[in-house]
A = this chain, B = another copy of it.
Amino acid sequence: MSDTTRIPPCSAHAIELEAGDELVVIDPEGQQVSDLTAFSREDVREYLSSGRSIDYASRMFLTTGDLLYSNRSRPMFEIVEDTCGRHDFTLTPCSKDTFSIIYGETEGRPGCEGNLAEALAPHGIEVDDIPIAFNVFMHVDVDSASGVIRVLPPKSGPGDFVRLRALMPLIVGMTACSAGQSNNFRYKPIDYRIIRAAEADA
């Protein structure tokens, strides 16, 4: 197993996985969100698709045993372990414009979108290519009647994690989220570990 790597608050990392590798996304302090997005290394126009994944699971909230599909309807990940159980897959990564429109902020912080774009640029992925993310640990309440959504503090406590098995060669971007609503206005780090398939088989 690799060492644990830390994503500092309000930033993003990009990594590469082979089919069979496992990625463990960890909330080290509790109540923090990681926006995770993935692209096929064979063709970055194939990306992790919320709409396909929700449709095929017939469920908005995905957890252990669920598959995360690409826009081309191919499984990209299986969720093999999930100690939190509540994540969001409906909202786009926060951005400079999100902060302006929702929070009235004027500082121009890049947000998860800007941080993902910077981390993914060396892989040929541009800001317009960043879709709705799998927002690990993000807690979005939905009212069935009105459709009103509320972004609540994550249900994750210190050490909660999600373990994802890659089902194809992937480029993965993930953040320590920059949006106050998502993490109860306490911007924290996110940790991750990679378990390489070769090592797991050994």
User: Contact check: which of B46, B95, B131, B144 meets A142 at CB < 8 Å?
Assistant: B144
Q: How many copies does the complex hold?
A: 2
A106 within 8 A of B: no
Cβ-defined contact, B128 with A45, below 8 A: yes
Cβ-closest chain B residue relative to A96? B73
Annotate A51-89 by CB proximity to B: 1 below 8 A, 0 otherwise: 110111011110000000001110000000000000000
A contact residues, total (Cβ < 8 Å): 36
- CB<8 Å pairs between A and B, sample of 24: A45-B128, A46-B128, A50-B51, A50-B90, A51-B91, A51-B92, A55-B91, A56-B98, A58-B148, A59-B146, A59-B148, A59-B149, A60-B90, A60-B142, A60-B147, A61-B147, A71-B92, A72-B97, A72-B128, A73-B101, A90-B90, A131-B131, A132-B132, A143-B144
A residues apposed to B, CB below 8 Å: 45-46, 49-52, 54-56, 58-61, 71-73, 90-92, 95, 97-98, 101-102, 128, 131-132, 141-144, 146-150
